[in-house]
Structure 1
């Protein structure tokens, strides 16, 4: 894509012209507007799993220093922290010890839904929890605390470290900060930092009209495989969304149908959530199915999207596309 290439080249040129370093695997930049109430961006080209580890650790330590929660967004090239200043972030980075990263990364997982659900999955594997248990009746936070330091807990943390984080590589890179890896600090946002605040594929596909993006998005969504589950007789089948016609159970003719993406496992979804999904499908039909199969859209977010008025189908699909884009940018499954 010639236009996309030109956009990237122009951005790098502007970065250099304004006196900012180009972030790379040998240079990380820390920048902000200078106010402790604004956003701070760490531009670091270490990949998603390393940045996930570093971002969570830095946010944890910043939260402890400031006495308030720190919002975080992570992608393979940057870590965005709110509220924070570049000075505060630099102080935390300088205080990091490589040997402390594993423990800090584990502490950063506490109170996250990711750890809670990994604990549930691990507890079921160990036979501690029944697969038929109604999870809506469990205080997941208390369960995590109760199981802390048990084999169930250790297995859940191990899976997260393998799948979502790279503690070993993050520790190795942190040991090189100020040595083979330079740290540059700025009290203003660079062109690259400002670009990161825009929508993710505005930079990757700048010449694509919205209509073309919507068409691609709709086609992909129609091909998604959804689980069609009847809450009345438990009839369950997997099917591409495009093949769905009547949203009633072919066996018992009930309209209480929960539809969710086949990437999720039925046994891991609480009964309360299944009933909420089924009510959305009952009220909104196929639009609810489309919403529940959009990446990053759960029952709560789907209900918000479906409650709005849309002049036409394009407006509805645009809302779904924006929701998916926000999820990709913010890594919502950590929250």
Structure 2
């Protein structure tokens, strides 16, 4: 799988990062530094670069893992000159500027509140196990500045949790050409190696998944659907069939009592829908909400009689109702892979647009 992932990465045209090659990738509003330097050095390097960018308001957030540093920028990377940005403002800065950035991280930005809390607990200045978060954690630096607690925190940070000398050395080696530096711009999707950190921090990672990951997502969707059980309501005889396994349904499901294929798959209160249908069959009046629920169920049943089991599968996907299901089913997919791919795209489209529906 690793070899396949690297081959997929190479197929995008991007260089493969190594311990002697740093790849800077731009995608959408994200910049991914592929730096195989480990947790501590990547964290330190990320803090220093963020401090250098902070003066121009370029970075919104950033994260790191042992192999990558991810920056969420305030502008799309297509509007930024990545080469100029990094060669001049990161790798090309003078030693006093770089040292000032390191000092700013260590003493002004101060991302060490948790370590300071532990030190303060050992010193007896805070009760052990005390829950602190938010502003209370941020105030620790001011509270213990110019105290032995502050000095001990800085000492431990420099010894165990950061490597500013190492970060300076990496920047120097890149500038001197001892470490190969490459740039790459991803267009529609990030490289497979970048996706490992992006999927943990972007809003809808499935939308940017590379092909090998998208295939896995589609497989998981299929397994999830086929593992479900649903209730089905027959519109001809009013019989409710409970807990029918989607995986075991025939291509064209039918009612076990009357053999009708006019079955509505129910994914919400099946008893409620059944009662409404019985009221309708008994010629009782329905209120507005009941009429809407019955109409929706009937539209679902119409799809089942036309498309069979695939109509049930389509409507069992999160965010896909009768209208969207009809659009997907009308494509008359020849293969299940194409069918599930369109279902996944419809689901992602729903997730992406749902927050704007009430605006």
TM-score by length of 2: 0.45
Question: Which is higher, the Rg of structure 1 or of structure 2?
Answer: 2
Larger RCO, structures 1/2 (Cα 8 Å, 6+ apart): 1
TM-score by length of 1: 0.48
